[in-house]
Structure 1
Amino acid sequence: MQSDTEIERVKSITTSSNPKQLIIDAKDATSNEHNLSLVQAIKLYRKAIGWSALLSTALIMEGYDLVLMGSFYAVPAFQRKYGHELPDGSFQLTPAWQSGLSNGASVGAIMGLFLNGWVSERFGFKKTMIASLTILVALIFIPFFAQNVQTLLVGQILMGIPLGIFQTLTTTYASEVTPVHLRAYLTTYVNMCWIMGQLIASGVLRGLVSRSDQWAYRIPFAIQWIWPIPLIIGISFAPESPWWLVRKGRYEEAKHSLDRLTYQFDDTTFNSEQTVAMMIHTVELEQEIGIGTTYFDCFKGVNLRRTEIACMVWSIQTLSGSGFRSFSTYFFQQAGLATDQSFSLAIGQYALGIFGVLMSWFLMPVLGRRTIFFYGLALMMMCLTIVGALGCAPESNGGAKWGVAGLALIYVFFYDATIGPVTYSLVSEIPSTNLRSKTVVLARNSYNILNIASNVYTPYMINPTAGNLKAKSGFVWAGICFICLFWIWFRLPEPKGRTFAELDILFENKTPARKFAQTKVDAFVVEKVVEERHEQI
């Protein structure tokens, strides 16, 4: 419970009648945040880490659902139920239906994402998450009881709506409840949850692939009911984002939220009133330089550059070969490996992915986001080129098949140690505070739109009844990776170690991407802008 003194203190630093005190407090909070060591940050924000991890757990469901449908194409019982018989007596879904089912969740996610950009800013992160999880519990019934492929498609689209909300809300929440030194870890943890979902899906399917009855695919659908109820109970006790509360002018509640997110100890210099002042200072700075709050504002002035960067960063996840990863089990099978071997390799792939994310936590503080993103994509391009070359070997060459499988695992490791997790850090740091939710929504929808295209052309490339490129499809993705490397070199900035206010100034000054890391931001310039604004009131 806040004392009267604390409440008056919050009021005093947030009123326009005391702008100098607000600037002093904001400057002190910024300095304290920069001076926090990693160990101190973990000790101070241990509760924030826990709450952020809890919300991010919802992404396990999204990762699970993504792999589930792509892997079902390699499950014989699923193919017999929803596919058609080929001349050789085997069953396959047509490429058109493979594309439709794979895109169903993405189409729903696009709707959910745009909805989230408005709903989460209006009602808050906490209420939006609880409502989405509640709706998801009901929607799981549709694919579980689906008797035909058309009903299955409807279920995928509708389930995609709450899953789309999870895609960006969790990342934004993670970036807003933690300080600069922890932001990269908690936002990239979102990617780890996504991989954990994929790993669980692959493990479940591997255990059921030998079943010939309907439970080979109904049990995996039913497992999705495990997550929502515990998450609803836990999130109901979570504190709201203090940044969201500040944007709504609810400063006392923002301080209370910060107190719940932190655990103060003897040698800390943390002060929740000063931190609230820093948040107010950042929001007012953005208002001063003309940053609005609508989707249209994302494409105006310097925000257009920030939107471009966020959208391209997330799009590169797809352009670097998302189809190669999402359809990995089916890809391995069409490359000539047995069904059980394909699922076993997929499990190994996602286990390597988790290790890759852990490795990225050690790389980011040393190398930064931009360097990891560039060289990670370069390594992935090399793997894809070699995979394409091995795909040119004769069908009888067993060594080439296992070479493709081995390189696919290395490729996924490079992805999950570099651009996979780093994307989540970049898209949460690059946008302005006022437009963060909406910019992240636009970025993720760029990914989803490209993912729909990928889910259309990937089955056609791999499927033996269509393009039949199989491993040679690596050449296609490698060529796209090469083009993306040029964009990264000239357009992707380095946000490592910057507060949100400092990033605002760098973008407002039109700092070139390659000079972001070296450019010093004059804190007094920031202060002067806000102080002049207060003097005019």
Structure 2
Amino acid sequence: MQGFDIVAGGQLAALPAFREKFGVLQPDGTYLIPARYLSAWNSIAPATEIVATFIFVPLLERFGRKWGILAASLISVAGVLLQQLAPDWRMHLAGRGVNGFAIGMMFTISPLWIGETCRPELRGFFLCFFNTSIVFGQFAIVVVSQGSSHITGVWQWWLPVVAMYFFPLLLTLIWPIFPESPYWLVRHNRPTDAKKALRRIYGFKETEFYDIEVTRMEEEIRITSDLHGHIEQRPPRRFLGMDVELELECFGATNRKRTFTAIFAASAQQMIGATFVIGYATYFFELIGIQNYFAASVALYVVMLCASTAAFPLTEMFGRRFLIVGPQFMLCLMLLIIGILGCVPDKARASWGIVAILYVWAVIYQLSIGATGFVLASEIATMRLRAATQGLITITNSAWGLIMQFTVPYMINPDAGDLGGKVGFIFLGTGLIASVGGWYLFPETKGLSFEKMDELYALKVPPRQFGKVAAEAGTGHIVPELKVATAHHSEQAEADTQPERV
């Protein structure tokens, strides 16, 4: 749903019927989509994703995860319908904004539910699949646009838009059988419902398995409460009627580093050039003079889909930090080469060189920060703050998307910057910030339970030392004294709140 929408703007702009419908007639008889149209279309969705997150996250924490799927589906249908029937570019803009609201809801629910449902040894695999589903959406819109390019008339651009109905239809069909998050149910003192949800997820007949899983979740919740104090007893802070206690707590002394790490892991994707390469590949190939630009972009997305799928086992084999930190610097090198090729006078040869480097960039990106960034961002927060942190991730990721989607058309469009390959220099600057920040912030979380991550952060272990310290500790607690201290803290808190309890 998100991948389809991200790439849709660039794909539609490459279709002659779409340019004729919404573009401006040029002196030579052709139609051009003005940069301000492209900028508005592609930046409105990230903007409404931010609005959706502010409204949605408090409701998500209060009422659970499941209800938001059906709500997002209905909103998405309305957004796609507005795009399809738009008489002018402003109505099409409104439709993209409404659909962006639905995407913001699902972008928050999906990784949150995966992180809360999967066992530690499977989190990386399924969070990688979250990224692969986005890449599949990008691949799908390119294939649909390639097919519709051979159609004449209104269906040339209607077909890619109408194809977006598939996503809310699929979500609506699975909604009745979709289980609620077991972690959320346990946290809200509904262990029986949590066992029912787990039974739907796993399908095992042995009731002992579900008893053990619920007990494990309760223990992790208890340890987290001990490490961070019994903060549930604090009065909520409200702003414009919205409870912002959890969001403020994310930036407290105890959780600040984890929050910035999660935000940085997701934002690094935008900073290192994902919007440019993924969102505007087809349109950019056309602008730099590639004859078969649709075929070149289809091949690019096939390569990215294969690379993203290959990241499934690599995440659990080599870990998160290994797959992110080093490859980010390699991506920066690719951007530097693209920028240099953009300065070459022989545009024809340089264009094919840029395409080749973009293919290499795409493979490295999907094997590293593209797939693993979502994994790290979604599993780093403490349990109590996971929904609030995922909301902040959505907000900051959308903010970066808003900036990039607004500025990239002005960078590459002929009636604006017309930078060509020199746009690589711009993303080299932001990419280096992401790479250096990742070196200091990104921990190794492969196979770590949420409980053990809480202990490592509580002990102020440097993130780049997480893997080493966890390996030395084995399967037990990192420091035995920490368990004793948290147990004493829990007993003392119970004694203070329940003095007559035997």
TM-score scaled by structure 2? 0.90
Counterpart for residue 436 of structure 1: 386
Q: What is the DSSP-based 3-state SS (H/G/I as helix, E as strand, rest coil) of the residue aligned with 2:383?
A: coil
Counterparts of residues 486-501 of structure 1 (less than 5 Å):
486-501=436-451
Shift of 1:137: 2.1
Give per-residue Cα distances to partners, 1:212-240, cap 9 Å, x unaligned. Answer: 42211112111112232332122211221
Matches of 1:263 and 1:158, distance apart in 2 = 37
Unaligned residue ranges in structure 1 (runs of 5+): 1-60
> Contact 2:354–2:421 at 8 Å: present in 1 too?
yes
Counterpart for residue 279 of structure 2: 326
RMSD over aligned CA atoms reads 1.9
Aligned with 2:253 (options 285, 298, 301)? 301
Counterpart for residue 316 of structure 1: 268
Unaligned residue ranges in structure 2 (runs of 5+): 233-244
Matches of 2:84 and 2:391, distance apart in 1 = 29
Identity of aligned residues (%): 28
Counterpart for residue 512 of structure 1: 462
> Contact 1:388–1:472 at 8 Å: present in 2 too?
yes
Q: Which amino acid aligns with 1:307?
A: T
Q: What is the DSSP-based 3-state SS (H/G/I as helix, E as strand, rest coil) of the residue aligned with 2:382?
A: coil
Matches of 1:256 and 1:526, distance apart in 2 = 31
Shift of 1:526: 3.3
Matches of 2:488 and 2:191, distance apart in 1 = 19
Is the counterpart of residue 238 in structure 1 residue 191 in structure 2?
no
> Contact 1:349–1:413 at 8 Å: present in 2 too?
no
Q: Which amino acid aligns with 1:459?
A: P
Q: What is the DSSP-based 3-state SS (H/G/I as helix, E as strand, rest coil) of the residue aligned with 1:457?
A: helix
Is the counterpart of residue 458 in structure 1 residue 408 in structure 2?
yes
Q: How many residues align?
A: 472
Give per-residue Cα distances to partners, 1:127-162, cap 9 Å, x unaligned. Answer: 111221123223321101001000011111111111
Q: Which amino acid aligns with 1:187?
A: L
Matches of 2:177 and 2:480, distance apart in 1 = 37
Counterpart for residue 408 of structure 1: 358
Counterpart for residue 272 of structure 1: 210
Counterparts of residues 60-459 of structure 1 (less than 5 Å):
61-264=1-204, 271-288=209-226, 289-290=228-229, 294-321=246-273, 322-338=275-291, 341-395=292-346, 397-459=347-409
Shift of 1:89: 2.9
Q: Which amino acid aligns with 2:370?
A: G
Aligned with 2:483 (options 514, 526, 529)? 526
Mark the CA change 1:485 to 1:79 in structure 2 (over 3 Å): closer, same or farther. same
Give per-residue Cα distances to partners, 1:288-344, cap 9 Å, x unaligned. Answer: 323666211111122111111111111111000022321111111111113xx2111
Give per-residue Cα distances to partners, 1:367-390, cap 9 Å, x unaligned. Answer: 210111112212211211111111
Matches of 2:362 and 2:21, distance apart in 1 = 31
Matches of 1:351 and 1:270, distance apart in 2 = 44
Give per-residue Cα distances to partners, 1:12-34, cap 9 Å, x unaligned. Answer: xxxxxxxxxxxxxxxxxxxxxxx
Q: What is the DSSP-based 3-state SS (H/G/I as helix, E as strand, rest coil) of the residue aligned with 2:467?
A: coil
> Contact 1:76–1:212 at 8 Å: present in 2 too?
no
Counterpart for residue 3 of structure 1: none
Q: Which amino acid aligns with 2:364?
A: F
Shift of 1:101: 0.4
Q: What is the DSSP-based 3-state SS (H/G/I as helix, E as strand, rest coil) of the residue aligned with 2:358?
A: helix
- Farther-moved stretch of structure 1 (357-366 vs 381-390): 357-366
> Contact 2:307–2:363 at 8 Å: present in 1 too?
yes
> Contact 1:505–1:526 at 8 Å: present in 2 too?
no
Q: What is the DSSP-based 3-state SS (H/G/I as helix, E as strand, rest coil) of the residue aligned with 1:511?
A: coil
Matches of 2:337 and 2:113, distance apart in 1 = 39
Q: Which amino acid aligns with 1:507?
A: Y
Matches of 1:92 and 1:251, distance apart in 2 = 59
Matches of 1:532 and 1:457, distance apart in 2 = 51
TM-score scaled by structure 1? 0.84
Counterpart for residue 23 of structure 1: none
Mark the CA change 1:442 to 1:368 in structure 2 (over 3 Å): closer, same or farther. same
Shift of 1:515: 1.1
Is the counterpart of residue 473 in structure 1 residue 420 in structure 2?
no
Q: Which amino acid aligns with 2:163?
A: I
Matches of 1:152 and 1:126, distance apart in 2 = 29
Mark the CA change 1:264 to 1:523 in structure 2 (over 3 Å): closer, same or farther. farther
Matches of 1:211 and 1:261, distance apart in 2 = 43
Q: Which amino acid aligns with 1:303?
A: N
Shift of 1:358: 2.0
